[in-house]
């Protein structure tokens, strides 16, 4: 490991107490072959394939005044701007990445993808 000192931003050249010590890090070798039990070669070679993303499903919207919102009671129905037979939006970071229909998967909701407006690349 090699050490060197460099001045910190905003420090004068005469002020040795403001110098930072830099160390070169030695990183392990990357292996081109997938480890045992790996899902696929693509997932192993590209670390982006392991990054988790939170998806949201938008079934519709409603516009209410604050007064109407404050007057909402249990069992009241708020009508959304989307028909029951229209697809719902699958969203990532507020952007629609796909559309689909809501389905039941055991006792949870799921979405069956019916449209991919933008081709998702590997």
DSSP strand E in 1-122: where?
Answer: 3-7, 19-23, 55-58, 88-92, 95-105, 108-115
What residue has token string 């930072």? 20
- C-alpha to C-alpha distance for 97 and 119, rounded to whole angstroms: 9
What integer pLDDT is reported at residue 47 of this predicted model?
83
- C-alpha to C-alpha distance for 122 and 118, rounded to whole angstroms: 13
Chunk the chain into consecutive blocks of 10 residues (it has 122) and report each block's average pLDDT, rounded to whole numbers.
53 54 61 53 71 94 96 95 93 93 92 83 59
What integer pLDDT is reported at residue 76 of this predicted model?
95
pTM of the model: 0.56
What residue has token string 């045992």? 36
Sequence spans of domains, the chain = 3-7+16-115
What integer pLDDT is reported at residue 29 of this predicted model?
54
Superfamily of domain 3-7+16-115 in the CATH hierarchy: SpoA-like (2.30.330.10)
Residue 92 C-alpha from the chain's centroid: 6
What integer pLDDT is reported at residue 117 of this predicted model?
74
What integer pLDDT is reported at residue 40 of this predicted model?
56
């Amino acid at each position: 490991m090699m050490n060197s000192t460099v001045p910190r931003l905003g420090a004068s050249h005469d002020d040795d107490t403001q110098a930072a010590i830099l160390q070169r890090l030695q990183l392990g070798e990357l292996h081109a072959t997938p480890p045992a039990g790996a899902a696929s070669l693509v997932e192993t070679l590209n670390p982006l394939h392991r990054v988790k993303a939170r998806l949201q499903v938008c079934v519709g919207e409603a516009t209410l005044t604050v007064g109407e919102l404050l007057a909402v009671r249990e069992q009241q129905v708020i009508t959304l701007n989307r028909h029951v037979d229209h697809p719902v939006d699958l969203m990532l970071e507020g952007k629609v990445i796909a559309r689909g229909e809501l389905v039941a998967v055991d006792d949870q909701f799921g979405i069956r993808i019916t449209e991919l407006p933008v081709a998702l690349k590997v």
